[in-house]
Chain A
Amino acid sequence: MRESFYERIGESCPREKLANGLSVCVVPKPGYRRKYAFFAARYGGMDVRFRLDGQWRDTPAGIAHYLEHKMFDTKDGSAMQDLAKNGAEPNAFTASAMTGYYFDCTEHFEENLKILLRFVSTPYFTQESVEKERGIIGQEIRMVEDNPDWQIYQQLLQALYARHSCRIPIAGTVESIADITPQTLYDCHKAFYTPGNMVLTVVGDVRPERVFEAAERILPRESGPEIERDYGREPEAVCRRESVRRMEVSAPQFLLGFKCPAPELGESGYRTELLGDLAWDILLGESSPLYQRLYEDGTINGSFGGAFDTLPGAACLYAGGDCKEPGKVAEAILRETERLDREGIDPDYWQRMRRAAFGSTLRGLNSFENIAVGLAEGYFQGYDAFHFPRIYESIRQEDILTFLRENVREERMALSRILPGEQQGKEGNNA
């Protein structure tokens, strides 16, 4: 067991790499009654093409998400119910690069942990149960199709990226999931749900060694092969400058994106993530002169916001909200970047933004979910998420300016819009 104490944030984190290759992190939280366990595989919506046993395999869009739905089935019934019987609240999600299973409880933690480890590592699918799930997932897909926030983001990724598999909707489409069989699910489980490709994080007042023991005892002995994935060869240029579609929305919406080079693995990649977020905040966050100007003249409203998203092999800055004149916002963002590059960041502004970034990341540590998912993501990307204080300290003004200068450029930009009105088809015609 390796235990680190992080003085600046008042957390410790005993960690263990088990013999079977599974990484386990525990964040003890004395004084709390909640206990939260998160068990994740480095496998998500974009892992549709990979090499298994020497052969390249193409799997349907939405397969990782379908698998997530079916994992709760056990030979004796449903793990969902087994956990519920103990008063735990289980759930799961599939992201682009990760599938995570978790539960929240105040009682029977160790028993719940065993159930979690067991059901995620033991696939049990039948023709009938896989068939039945198609209707449920179909309705989930329909729900997402009617959701403008999802649609505008997906449309942006499809405008920025020509080939990278982040273009693929995580849940797939009603058509793409039509042919998923128990065998496809078994194959994908076998390939990706191996201890070497997974991480377990636990937050709460628990005994770390009991967590390590349970994982050691319940999970398979073999680490599993390293799976090579193909996300597609992506050109540097954006795929299309603008995409528009119509939906039942109250006002025109936009999302503006800038395609950035993908961060490396390891702490330098984490630094890029934090740096990108901070740079974006300095440029157009609520404290920025740009935000205030656009808000005060009514170009944007409280719905405006943005972030820096990173995925294996892809990264983008984006911002958007309700707005009738996205062109004006885009222009203002480009001009403000030039101004910052020319004049530098006001020293007082710089100091307080850095301090605010530290404070809000620290505030995020009140959330068990944030801690557990953050540590898991960090593990998959090869960094320690608790190192943010020292990373913030290492970031210089010049780093911010360089980042903005290199990425916030017209040729890297794409615009995704949704206009009120009847749907006319999925892809816009303004390309």
Chain B
Amino acid sequence: MVRKELMEGVNLTYLPARKFKTGLLSAHFLTPLEEGSAGMRALLPAVLRRGTVGSPDMGAISARLDRLYGAELDYTVRKKGECQCIGFVGSFIDDAYALGGEKLLEPVAELMGEMILEPVTRGGRFLPDYVESERDNLADAIRSIRNDKRDWAELRLLRELCAGEAYGVSRLGDERSVERISGQKLYAEYARLIASAPMEIFYCGSAERTRVEDALLNALSALPRRGVAPIPETERHSLRGEAKVVREGMDVTQGKLGMGFACTSEDESALLLGNLLFGGSSNSKLFLNVREKLSLCYYASSLYHRRKGLITVSSGVEFADFPRAYEEILAQLTALSRGEVEPWELEAARGVLRSAYAAMEDSQGRLENFYLGQAIEGRSDSPEDLAREMEETPAERIFRAMSSVKLDTVYYLERKEEKT
């Protein structure tokens, strides 16, 4: 892996690999996740994706990508801690498989550069049609999160758990602020981002580094950099004095129980392992007890939000079983913090993590996501470094870290008529 500043505040992470069928190229602007503007920033890459000066509509863009053997060049919006990453990810077949021996990296980089720097405009603004239709699409996408009740419950829990904090903001923003976005404001935000937002570029594939750098410098030479902002940081959550309980009703046949915990310990590798033991895998305490032993649910799992110092539990249960599931989840956490863990459980958790780190280098998508996260945190440890750190974390540290995990917020999704 080589990391290099290509232009002011534009960093390239280059990872040579010959074994894949494809090359992967991504470019992201990093910007603080903020309540009022998250929606506007999420909208931006969708509008940029609609047309460039050279390929002014969807038809022209699709045609270019189809000719490049069905290359994909999609916009993405990600939330990493309290940083919102907006940009594009391109995936295209390796030159070795192009029937006519064509090179695909350069034309994909070129189109990406056009999307970032040469959107179709009229009178110094984006085309109103594009802004309106993508704004409607984004509002639809935000509204549709409630269609998947598991996603909805997880999002609602996070919003309540982190009310008033940037981390409670959804990566796509909220419906109301999206509906208020004007073309003028959007263009101003665009101009601000290309001038001053830090930019992260990632490439993984078979091309030589100089070829990648040349392609990018060509594609991005017109980037008007003026004083680049620092990379947004994430503030840790502080535990509520008394757990907050939120109940909501919907027309559903299954209830959802979400529990948010704050970790006061900052021992990340211990918490990572602790979370795996708690509910982070299919041999975790939640899986083996809440599901297998008590048959209360199909899923009960936990997620460690490392940057924010949180653990969230998500589960789908019969309405009548809410109290039993709630008690059992807490009981399992207590057991874990007391060190009630079999040697095999610990070895399995380490094995799963070791395997996850090792397998990362087999997936361009996972590598991209990993190195983007590392860049945001200014960290340079590789997956192997993290694996080593994990191996060196003794059980006592895990139990101690898990005993710092305290219940903060509870979210229930109930059947509408049962709401009191």
Q: Which A residues lie at the B interface, using CB under 8 A?
A: 8-10, 29-34, 78, 80-81, 84-91, 104-107, 132-137, 139-140, 142-143, 145-149, 247-251, 286-287, 289, 292, 295-296, 298, 301-303, 322, 349, 352-353, 355-360, 362-363, 365-366, 421-423
A185 to B330, CA, bound (A): 35
Which residues in B have their C-beta under 8 angstroms from that of A248?
Answer: 146-147, 149, 250-252
Interchain CB contact under 8 A, B19 and A31:
yes
Most central of B18, B136, B137, B254 by chain A CB within 10 Å? B254
Which residues in A have their C-beta under 8 angstroms from that of B93?
Answer: 359, 362-363
**Out of B57, B63, B351, which one reaches A86, CB within 8 Å?**
B351
Interchain CB contact under 8 A, A303 and B144:
yes
Interchain CB contact under 8 A, B253 and A85:
no
Take A85-B344, A136-B297 as given contacts and tell me if A423 and B251 are in contact as well, using a CB distance cutoff of 8 Å.
yes
In angstroms, how far is the closest chain B Cβ from the Cβ of A385?
Answer: 15
Q: List 5 A-B contacts (CB under 8 A).
A: A9-B97, A10-B21, A88-B355, A289-B59, A356-B69
**Out of B57, B96, B144, which one reaches A10, CB within 8 Å?**
B96
Is B289 at the interface (CB under 8 A from chain A)? no
Most central of A134, A135, A146, A421 by chain B CB within 10 Å? A146
In angstroms, how far is the closest chain B Cβ from the Cβ of A186?
Answer: 21
Take A85-B348, A139-B318 as given contacts and tell me if A301 and B140 are in contact as well, using a CB distance cutoff of 8 Å.
yes
Q: B354: nearest residue on chain A (CB-CB)? A: A87
**Out of B57, B72, B149, which one reaches A146, CB within 8 Å?**
B149
Interchain CB contact under 8 A, A353 and B66:
yes
Which residues in B have their C-beta under 8 angstroms from that of A143?
Answer: 149-150, 254, 298-299, 316
Interchain CB contact under 8 A, A250 and B140:
yes
Interchain CB contact under 8 A, B19 and A322:
no
* Docked complex: B333-351 residues within 8 A CB-CB of A: 344, 347-348, 350-351
Interchain CB contact under 8 A, B19 and A32:
yes
Which residues in B have their C-beta under 8 angstroms from that of A29?
Answer: 19
Is B267 at the interface (CB under 8 A from chain A)? no
Is B26 at the interface (CB under 8 A from chain A)? no
Is B212 at the interface (CB under 8 A from chain A)? no
Interchain CB contact under 8 A, B316 and A362:
no
**Out of B70, B297, B299, B350, which one reaches A359, CB within 8 Å?**
B70
Interchain CB contact under 8 A, B67 and A148:
no
Take A9-B97, A247-B251, A356-B65 as given contacts and tell me if A302 and B359 are in contact as well, using a CB distance cutoff of 8 Å.
no
Which residues in A have their C-beta under 8 angstroms from that of B282?
Answer: 80, 84, 89-91
**Out of A9, A30, A136, A363, which one reaches B291, CB within 8 Å?**
A136
Which residues in A have their C-beta under 8 angstroms from that of B316?
Answer: 139, 142-143
Is B58 at the interface (CB under 8 A from chain A)? yes
Q: Mark interface residues in B25-61 (1 if CB within 8 Å of A CB, else 0).
A: 0000000000000000000000000000000011100
Which residues in A have their C-beta under 8 angstroms from that of B144?
Answer: 249-251, 303, 322
A145 to B292, CA, bound (A): 22
Interchain CB contact under 8 A, B283 and A80:
yes
Interchain CB contact under 8 A, B143 and A85:
no
Is B129 at the interface (CB under 8 A from chain A)? yes
Which residues in B have their C-beta under 8 angstroms from that of A365?
Answer: 21
In angstroms, how far is the closest chain A Cβ from the Cβ of B108?
Answer: 12
Is B231 at the interface (CB under 8 A from chain A)? no
**Out of B136, B146, B344, B347, which one reaches A250, CB within 8 Å?**
B146
Which residues in B have their C-beta under 8 angstroms from that of A88?
Answer: 351, 355
